Structure 1
C-alpha cells in the first residue's frame, strides 16, 4: 500500500462509518478516493445540481452548506473534520438541497458511490449508519448520531401550553426594528407610560453605550410591580429582567425559535453581533413567531384547539398531511415527525370527545362526572400513526354502582360512537376488526378490562395473543390517566403470576416469516390484490414491534409504548445488547419513513410496496434493516426457551 493510500485509510478509520470497515474494504475504498484541494470562495457543488456519483469527507478546512432564501443565503450546516456530506447521492439521483461553499482552503476526499455499494451490501452496520443519518434528517452525517437525537429532544421540552411547537426552516419572522428603549434610571411609571403610548408589551433597558442591559414586559409590571407593591417611582433597573438573552438579527428561524424555547422567552432581543455587548437592532415576540409559522404544527394545533366544526377539523388534518409530506421529503427525523403527528391526532380526539360530551350532556346529566379514559391502541397507542390508517381505540371508565351500570354503559358507548364519527369524518379509516370505541366489547368499566387482560394472560389462545398485541400498547389520550395506570399495574401483576405467558408471546413474535427468501430476495405476496408486492408492515415492522413489546414487558417497564423508544430503553437496561437494540430502533424508524412515503405517494396506507420500484441502494438499505430482526428473533428463541416450550 503506497504512502498516500495509507494516510487516507488511517484518516478515514478515525471516523464512522469507515471505522466499521474490515481492513481489506477500507484499503479498497482508500485506493478509489479522489483527493480534491479547494480554495476559499470556491463552490464544490451548487444547490439544485444533480447529485454526483460520489459523496464527500472533509479532511481539513471549513465548508458551509448554505440554502438560497428570499433574503439571500442561510447557513444550514458547518462541516468539520471527518464530517460526511453530499450523501444524497447514496439515495439516488436527486439534486443537492444546499450549496457547499469553501470558507477556508480545504482538502476533501471524494468517494465513489460505486465503490461503496459493495460495502453496503456486506456490512449492515455501515448501511444502518447512513440510513440512520437519513432517518435523523441529517444533511451532514457526523461521528455521533446521538447528537442529532439530543438536539431534537430540546424541541419536545414543555414550553407554555404546548410541548410540541415544531417549526419549518422555511419560515420567515417579522422583526420589529423600531425598538422602544429607556435607561436603567427611568421610573417604572414613566416606562409603563412609554409602553402604553407605543402600544407595545415590552421595553428594552439600555445603558450609556446603547447596549441592552435588561427588559421590562407587561408580565413584569403585573408580577414584580403591582403584585409586589413596588412604588412606581422606583427605577426600572429594580424590576427589569437581566441579563438579557440576545441573538443576531441574521440568525435563521430555527436558531431564534430554539433560543426562545430554551429560555422560556416571550420576547427576544436582537443585536448586531448577537451578544449583549452590541447595539440593539430588533426585537421578536412570541406572537411574531406564531404568525410566521404558517402550516406548522403549532398553528395547526392552535387551530384545532379553537374549533369544534368537524368540516374545519378535516381541513386542518388535510393540511397536516401536507406538512407530513414536507417533513418526509426533507428527511426530518422520524421521532420528531411521529411526535408531531401524534400530538395533532390527540388534539382531534380530545376535541371529538368534547363535542360528544356536549351533545350527550342533556340526555345523561349524571354521567359527566364519572371518571373515564379514552385509550388509543395499536400504532396510535405507540405514537407511530403518521397516516390516517385504521383506528384502534377503546374507552375505560370507573366502575359505578349496579343501579347506574346500564346507564353508564350506554353513555360511554354513545360517546365512543360520536368520537369515531368525528375521526372518520376527519379521514381516518375504520378498523376492519371493529376494535374501536363504538364497539360495546371495547367500552367497559375498569373491572371488566382487568378481567379481559387476566383472561388473555391466563388462557393465551391465538385470538387472545392477537388482542394482546394490540391492547398491550394502550395509551391514555384524554380523561383520567390514573385508570390506565391501575390497569397497567394489574397487567404486570398477572404476568408475574404466569411467567409462561411471555413464552407464548415469544412464540407469537416468531410467527412472521423472514423478509428475505433463500435467494436473498424479498418475499412478496403470491396472490390477491397485492400480488408481487412486499408487505412492509407484516414482514418488517410487525416483527420489530412484537419483539420490542415482549422484551419491555419482560423487564416490567411502564410508560414506554413507542417501538424505537422501547429499543432505546432496552439498550439502557441491557448494555451487552445496546448496539443491537440501537440498530433495531434505527431500522424501525427507516421502515416508518418508507411506509409513510409510500402511502403519501400512492394515496393509500403504504403497507405494500413494489420492490422493483426501489433503486439499488434503497433496496440494499431496506434489506439491511432486516438484520436486527433475525438477531432479535434468535435472542428471543434462546431467552424464552422456545425449543422446549409447547402449547
Structure 2
C-alpha cells in the first residue's frame, strides 16, 4: 500500500476505538496490513455458522446488516454504519459466526488481519477491555464510542487508580463453580464426553494423580479435534485436550480473571489453589458464568435492549441503567466513560424505537421504506452528555424527494417521529418544554429545508435564532444515513464562512449568563418561583461552559466534535497558550455533570436545582472551584470577539 493510502487509512482508523487507543507506530502497522474490500449491494461477506476468517472488519462507507436466521425467519440484529467494528469472533475465541453480514448498500470495508492485531490485544489492556463487553455478551459488533478511555478524575475523592475502563457494576465476584469435572489423561475421549454430557457441562479438566491440571477438554475441542478430524473416541483424552492450561487463583479480582480470559481468548478459566498449574484445581469459570454474573453492566443492558422490541422491557432495562449510573458516579468512574455508556444505551433505545415505528408504518407507506433519512439527537443527548432522562431534543432529516412523493414523505416521517417520541416517553424520558422533538412537524424536514433553517439563523441571528442555535448546533446522527447530517454540517460551516460576524452574535449570547458567584462570593440563587433560594446548576454553570466550548470550536472551523469534554480537549491542541485553562474547564464540566446527576438520582428529578445549604463544606468549595474557568473564558471571548466594541 502506498504511503498516501496508508496515511488515509490510519487517519480514518484513529477516529474510532479501539484504534484511537493505539500509538502512532501501532496505528501505521495496522494500516499497512489492511486489505481494502469493495462490496456490492446484495453481497454476503460471511454467513451464520461459517468458520471465522483470519480478519475482522471496520466499515468505511455504506451500510451492512448483521442478521440472524431463526425460527421466525431472518431478523436484523445490528445495522453497521461508518466506523463500526464487526466480525470480531475471528479475534475473540475464533468461533463460527453467529450472524450473517448482508451488504445493503455498496460498501467499502477495511479487513484487518487478526495476526497483526493479536499482539496489540495481548499488550494493550485498553484495547482488550474495549472488546470485553461484546465478547461476554456474545455480540459480533462492538459499537463505537463506548469509551474514549480517559483517566478517571478524583475531584470528589482522592481516589487512586484508573477506573476509566471499568465496565462492570454490582460486581464483587464472579459465580465460580467449585464442582469441577475431572478425569485422568488416560481416560478415553468417549468416556470424558459422556461425563460432560451426564454433568451437563461444556468442559472437563484433565488432572494428574495429585489433582494438578494438565489440560482441559471442551465442547469445541470435541468438535474441532475429534469429530472434524475423524479421531477415534477410544483414544486417550490427552490426545485431544488443550494444553498447557492457563490458570489463576480463585482469590484474584474479577477484572483480572476476566481480562485473562479476554487476552487468551478463553471460554473456560481453570482456578487452582496458588494460581499455578503446580497446585490442585479448586474451581472453574466459563464465559457463560461471567455473562450471567455481570448484572447491570453495559454489555448486558445493551444486549437486552438490542434483543427486544417490547416497550415495557425497554423501560425496565433503562431503569436498571440508572442503577448502574449511580454505581459509576459514586465510585468516581471517569465522567467521559460514564457519559459514553449512557449515550450508547439511549441511542440503542432510539434505534429500537425506530424499528418499532417503521414496522408499524411499512404496510401503509411501502414507497417510503428505502427513503434516506437520519434521526438527529440534539442538546445534551446530541453532545453525548445526557445521563438522566431529562427532556429530549430530537429531529428528523430526510432526503429531498420529487414533487409527487413530498406529501407522502411529510406524512410518513411525521408519523415515524411521533412513534419514536411515544416510545421514549414510555421509557421515562421527559418531553421537551419547547416541543423541539421529532413529533413536531417543524422539526421533521427534508435536507433543503434544514439548510434554509440554518442559513436563516446564521444570516439573521435574532435572540430566538441564537436560542435555537444553542440546541441545534449540537446535533448528532443517531441512526440512518449519516451522510445527510454531514452534508448539512458542511453547509453550516460554509454559511458561517460567509458571515463571520455571526460568531460575534454567538459570543454575545454565550456571555449572557454572568459568573455563578455573586459579589460576596456566594451562589447566585433564584429570587422567586418554586425554585427560590436554589442554585440553577444547568443555566448558571453548565450552560456557559457548553456555549463557550461550542463557540470557540466553531471559530476554529472544527467539524464533528460535539461533546463538551472533547471540545475542550481539542481546544488544548489548537491553542497551547490557553491549554491549562481549557483543561481546567473540561474538569470543571465533569464535576458539574457528576453533581447534577447525583442530585437528580437522589431526589428523583432532573437535578437542575440544588439547595446550596444542603451541600457540605467540601462540596461547596469544590463547586465554587469549578466556576473559576467560566469567568476567565468569558474574558477571553469578550476580548477575542471585541464585544465591548460590538455592543456600541
| TM-score, normalisation: structure 2 | 0.69
The separation in 2 between residues aligned to 1:566 and 1:375, in whole angstroms, is: 19
What corresponds to 2:15 in structure 1?
A: none
What displacement does 1:538 show?
0.5
- Aligned residue pairs total 495
What corresponds to 1:232 in structure 2?
A: 231
Aligned CA distance change for structure 1 residues 194 and 559 (closer, same or farther; 3 Å): farther
The separation in 2 between residues aligned to 1:577 and 1:207, in whole angstroms, is: 65
What corresponds to 1:464 in structure 2?
A: 465
Encode CA deviations 1:495-528: one digit per residue, 9 max, x unaligned. Answer: 3333333332222211111101111111111222
What corresponds to 1:520 in structure 2?
A: 521
What displacement does 1:276 show?
5.2
What corresponds to 1:79 in structure 2?
A: none
Aligned CA distance change for structure 1 residues 622 and 363 (closer, same or farther; 3 Å): same
The separation in 2 between residues aligned to 1:295 and 1:404, in whole angstroms, is: 45
What corresponds to 1:435 in structure 2?
A: 436
What displacement does 1:298 show?
3.4
What corresponds to 2:393 in structure 1?
A: 392
The separation in 2 between residues aligned to 1:557 and 1:617, in whole angstroms, is: 37
What corresponds to 2:378 in structure 1?
A: 377
The separation in 2 between residues aligned to 1:504 and 1:244, in whole angstroms, is: 67
Q: Is the 8 A contact 1:132 1:587 kept in 2?
A: no
Encode CA deviations 1:279-321: one digit per residue, 9 max, x unaligned. Answer: 4432212221122233444333333333323233223323333
The separation in 1 between residues aligned to 2:554 and 2:237, in whole angstroms, is: 57
Q: Is the 8 A contact 2:368 2:409 kept in 1?
A: yes
The separation in 2 between residues aligned to 1:191 and 1:490, in whole angstroms, is: 67
The separation in 2 between residues aligned to 1:630 and 1:173, in whole angstroms, is: 48
Alignment of 1:290-309 (within 5 A): 290-309=291-310
Aligned CA distance change for structure 1 residues 214 and 455 (closer, same or farther; 3 Å): farther
The separation in 2 between residues aligned to 1:555 and 1:277, in whole angstroms, is: 61
The separation in 2 between residues aligned to 1:416 and 1:352, in whole angstroms, is: 10
What corresponds to 2:363 in structure 1?
A: 362
The separation in 2 between residues aligned to 1:207 and 1:495, in whole angstroms, is: 75
The separation in 2 between residues aligned to 1:243 and 1:497, in whole angstroms, is: 68
Encode CA deviations 1:228-251: one digit per residue, 9 max, x unaligned. Answer: x64536998898777655432112
Q: Is the 8 A contact 2:170 2:295 kept in 1?
A: no
What corresponds to 1:610 in structure 2?
A: 611
What displacement does 1:457 show?
2.5
What corresponds to 1:544 in structure 2?
A: 545
What corresponds to 1:322 in structure 2?
A: 323
Encode CA deviations 1:402-457: one digit per residue, 9 max, x unaligned. Answer: 21121112111101101111111222111111100001111112232233223323
What displacement does 1:637 show?
2.4
The separation in 2 between residues aligned to 1:206 and 1:416, in whole angstroms, is: 61
Alignment of 1:223-622 (within 5 A): 230-232=229-231, 245-261=246-262, 265-275=266-276, 278-622=279-623
Q: Is the 8 A contact 2:170 2:296 kept in 1?
A: no
What corresponds to 1:201 in structure 2?
A: 202
Q: In structure 2, which of residues 154, 158, 167 is the aligned counterpart of residue 133 of structure 1?
A: 154
Aligned CA distance change for structure 1 residues 196 and 595 (closer, same or farther; 3 Å): same
Q: Is the 8 A contact 2:372 2:481 kept in 1?
A: yes
SS of corresponding position for 1:133: coil
The separation in 2 between residues aligned to 1:355 and 1:638, in whole angstroms, is: 51
What displacement does 1:182 show?
6.9
Q: Is the 8 A contact 1:414 1:438 kept in 2?
A: yes
Encode CA deviations 1:431-485: one digit per residue, 9 max, x unaligned. Answer: 1111000011111122322332233233322222221211121122222223223
What corresponds to 1:18 in structure 2?
A: none
The separation in 2 between residues aligned to 1:580 and 1:186, in whole angstroms, is: 69
Aligned CA distance change for structure 1 residues 631 and 222 (closer, same or farther; 3 Å): farther
The separation in 1 between residues aligned to 2:243 and 2:567, in whole angstroms, is: 42
SS of corresponding position for 2:381: helix
What displacement does 1:556 show?
3.6
- Cα RMSD (Å) of the superposition? 3.2
Q: Is the 8 A contact 1:185 1:236 kept in 2?
A: yes
What corresponds to 2:84 in structure 1?
A: none
Q: Greater CA deviation, 276-285 or 352-361?
A: 276-285
What displacement does 1:487 show?
2.5
SS of corresponding position for 1:477: strand
The separation in 2 between residues aligned to 1:557 and 1:194, in whole angstroms, is: 63
What corresponds to 1:54 in structure 2?
A: none
Encode CA deviations 1:145-168: one digit per residue, 9 max, x unaligned. Answer: xx62xx52x45xxxxxxxxxx312
Encode CA deviations 1:340-399: one digit per residue, 9 max, x unaligned. Answer: 322222222122111111111111112122222211111111121121111101112222
Q: Greater CA deviation, 608-617 or 198-207?
A: 198-207
What displacement does 1:261 show?
4.7
Q: Is the 8 A contact 1:371 1:480 kept in 2?
A: yes
| TM-score, normalisation: structure 1 | 0.69
Q: Greater CA deviation, 637-646 or 237-246?
A: 237-246
**Where does structure 2 lack aligned partners over 5 or more consecutive residues?**
1-151
Q: Is the 8 A contact 2:377 2:478 kept in 1?
A: yes
The separation in 2 between residues aligned to 1:315 and 1:330, in whole angstroms, is: 23
The separation in 2 between residues aligned to 1:551 and 1:373, in whole angstroms, is: 27
Q: Is the 8 A contact 1:450 1:490 kept in 2?
A: yes
